[in-house]
Amino acid sequence: MKEIKSLAVTGAQWGDEGKGKIVDYLASRAGVVARYQGGNNAGHTVVIGEETFKMHHLPVGVLYPGVICILGSGMVINPQVLIEELEGLHARGIDTSQLYISDRAHVILPFHQALDQGEEEMRKEKKIGTTGLGIGPAYADKAYRRGIRMMDLVERKRFASRLEEILPLQNRYLQQVYGHPGFNSSEILDCYLPLGERLSSLVTDTSLLIHHSLERGDRIIFEGSQGAFLDLDHGTYPYVTSSSTTAGGVCSGLGIGPRSIKEILGVIKAYTTRVGEGPFPTEETGEVGEKMRQRGAEYGTTTGRPRRCGWFDAVMGRYSARINGYTGWAVTKLDVLTGLEKIKIAVSYFCSGGHQMEQFPASLEELYDCRAEYQELPGWEEDITGARSLEELPPEACRYLEAIEELTGVRALLISTGPEREQTIVTCNDII
Ligand code: GDP
Ligand code: IMO
Ligand code: MG
C-alpha cells in the first residue's frame, strides 16, 4: 500500500462549526470525500463567489468535478431528500456522476419521521429539540436489527418483504402510543420503489472503493457531520444525535481500519453555538449572544432555528481534542468576534458544591449547575475578513488564537475569517 494521505474533518462542538467551508477549502486537493455518519440532519454550507450551496446528504466534495464522493455505511439516508438534493445540483450545472452510496447504509422511511416527531411532542418540556427528520428512529431500527438498508431498497422483492415485517410493528406503536393513523405499505412501496430504481446504479460496496483509493495513494477526506458534543457515546447525552460523530466513527462508518486515518482536523468556532435543547455552560442569553447570532448569521441551515450562542469553551476544546485525537484545529468565524471590547474563554467550571472542574463531566446535573470560569482577553476593531496570513491579523486576534492553542493543546492549522473559500489563513501547507 502507498503512503496513506487521509484526513478526517470533524466538528468539535455542537455542530455548525463550519465543516462545509473547511472541507470545501481542502477538497480541491482530494481524490475522494466520504461521509461516514448522520443523515439529512446535517446542513453544510459552502459559499463560492455569489453562489451558496447547502448540503444535507452529499459530501461537499461533490462541488469539484472528478472528486469521488461516498455516502458510507454508517449513514442513514432519506432517498427522497437525496434525489431532490441531486436534482438541485444538476439544475445548477453540477456533475454528480462520481457519487456512490453504501449498500449497507440504512434508509429513513416516513414512519421514522413520524416516530421522531411523536416522541418529541410526548417529551414536552423535556424534548431533545431534534431536527424531526427521523434520524433517531432510523438508527434505533438499525440497532434493533430490523432496519431497511439501501441494498434492500433497490431490490423490489426484498424491499417489499422487509417492509411487510417492520411496518405492522411500527404502525401499532404509532397508533397506540402517539394516536397517529399509521402508514399504508402499498403507498410506501409506490413512492419508494421508483426512488430505489433511480439510485440503484450508485449503490455499491463503498468500503471496497475506499480500500482501492487508499491502495492507489489517493488523498481522502472523511467529512464529519454534527459535532463531538452531539456524539451518541461521548456527547451531552441524551441531548445528542444518534450516531458516532467523532473520528472513531470514521472506521465503523466506512468499513476501514484505524490505520487508514492519517490526520484528524477539528473544526472549532472561535465562539460556541448550539441548536436544540441541552446544557451549554458558556451560553450568553443577553446582548453578547445576540451580537454573535446576528454577526455570525447563526440560524440553523437545516431547520432555520436561531442557534444559541456563547463564549469559546476550552474545557470543551480539550475534551473534543482528547476523544477525537486531533492533530490540528481549523478555527472558524474569527471575524465574527471583531468589534468586541473584551473576549472571554472558559478555562474551567466551578460547581456549586465548591469544586473546580478542568475536564468536561458526563453528568447533566453538573453541567446545568456549573458556572464557567473565564480568562479575559482584549478584543480588536479591525476588519479581518481580508487577512490571508497571521501577520495580517491584529496582535489581539493572534493572542486569542494562541490562547486557544495553549488551553486546548492543539495547534491551529487553518483559520477562517469569512464564509468564502479564499477567506482562509493556512499556517501549515501540508494538511492533506
Ligand atoms: P457546518 O454544519 O459545520 O458545515 O456549518 P454550517 O454551514 O451549518 O454553519 C456555518 C455557517 O458559517 C455557514 O453559513 C458558513 O457559510 C458560515 N461560515 C463558515 N466559516 C465562516 C467564517 O470564518 N466566517 C463567517 N462569518 N462565516 C463563516
Ligand atoms: P451539522 O452537520 C447542529 C442537533 C439537533 C438536536 C440533536 C438531535 O450541520 O453540524 P437529530 O435530528 O440529529 O436527532 O437531533 O442534534 N443536530 C445538529 N445541530 N448541526 C447539525 O448538523 C445537527 N444535526 C443534529 O438540533 O439538538
Ligand atoms: Mg450545519
Q: Residues 40-62: pLDDT tens digits? A: 999 999 999 999 999 999 999 99
Average of pLDDT values for 324-336?
Answer: 98
Query: Is the pLDDT assigned to residue 1 strictly greater than 80?
Result: no
Ligand 1 centroid distance, CA of 419 (Å)? 6
Query: Is the pLDDT assigned to residue 354 strictly greater than 90?
Result: no
Q: Determine if ligand 2 sits within 6 Å of the CB of residue 134.
A: no
Tens-digit pLDDT profile for residues 210-252: 999 999 999 999 999 999 999 999 999 999 999 999 999 999 9
Say if CB 42 and CB 55 are below 8 A apart. Answer: yes
- The mean of the pLDDT values for the chain is 97
Residue from 397, 404, 387, 260 nearest 329 by CA: 404
Report pTM: 0.98
Average of pLDDT values for 78-99?
Answer: 98
- The pLDDT of residue 117 is 97
CA dist., res. 82 & res. 151, Å (int): 16
Say if CB 43 and CB 56 are below 8 A apart. Answer: yes
Crossing angle of the two packed helices 79-91 and 185-199, in degrees rounded to 10: 40
Query: Is the pLDDT assigned to residue 312 strictly greater than 90?
Result: yes
Domains of the chain: 6-103+203-263 (3.40.440.10), 106-199 (1.10.300.10), 267-426 (3.90.170.10)
Catalytic residue among 16, 141, 218, 313: 16
Query: Is the pLDDT assigned to residue 330 strictly greater than 90?
Result: yes
Residues lying with their CB under 5 A of ligand 3, a single-atom ion: 16, 43, 301
Contacts of 82 (CB under 8 A, 6+ apart): 40, 57, 58, 71, 101, 199
Q: Which residue minimizes the CA distance to atom 3 of ligand 2? A: 15
Banded pLDDT at 352 (limits 50, 70, 90): confident
* Residue 354 CB neighbours (<10 A): 6
Percent of the chain exceeding pLDDT 90 equals 95
CA dist., res. 33 & res. 95, Å (int): 15
Average of pLDDT values for 339-361?
Answer: 94
Residues 181-189: contacts with CB within 8 Å, 24+ apart? 182/111, 183/110, 183/111, 183/114, 185/160, 188/109, 188/110, 188/163, 189/159, 189/160, 189/163
Banded pLDDT at 121 (limits 50, 70, 90): very high
Banded pLDDT at 157 (limits 50, 70, 90): very high
Q: Which residue has the cell 451518541?
A: 232
CA dist., res. 166 & res. 360, Å (int): 40
Banded pLDDT at 432 (limits 50, 70, 90): confident
Say if CB 153 and CB 160 are below 8 A apart. Answer: no
Residue from 10, 19, 14, 42 nearest 419 by CA: 19
Percent of the chain exceeding pLDDT 70 equals 100
- DSSP for residue 340: -
Is residue 211 part of the annotated active site? The answer reads no
Q: Hey, which of 226, 294, 333, 426 would you mutate to test ligand 1's pocket, going by the most ligand atoms within 8 Å of its Cβ? A: 333
Atom of ligand 2 nearest to the CA of 225: 2
Banded pLDDT at 138 (limits 50, 70, 90): very high
Extract the runs of DSSP E, i.e. beta strands, from 322-391: 328-332, 342-350, 356-357, 371-378
Average of pLDDT values for 420-428?
Answer: 95
Query: Is the pLDDT assigned to residue 137 strictly greater than 80?
Result: yes
Is residue 44 part of the annotated active site? The answer reads yes
Query: Is the pLDDT assigned to residue 429 strictly greater than 90?
Result: no
Can you say whether the dihedral through the CA atoms of 271, 269, 12, 410 is positive or negative?
negative
Q: Hey, which of 23, 45, 291, 292 would you mutate to test ligand 1's pocket, going by the most ligand atoms within 8 Å of its Cβ? A: 45
Average of pLDDT values for 356-375?
Answer: 95
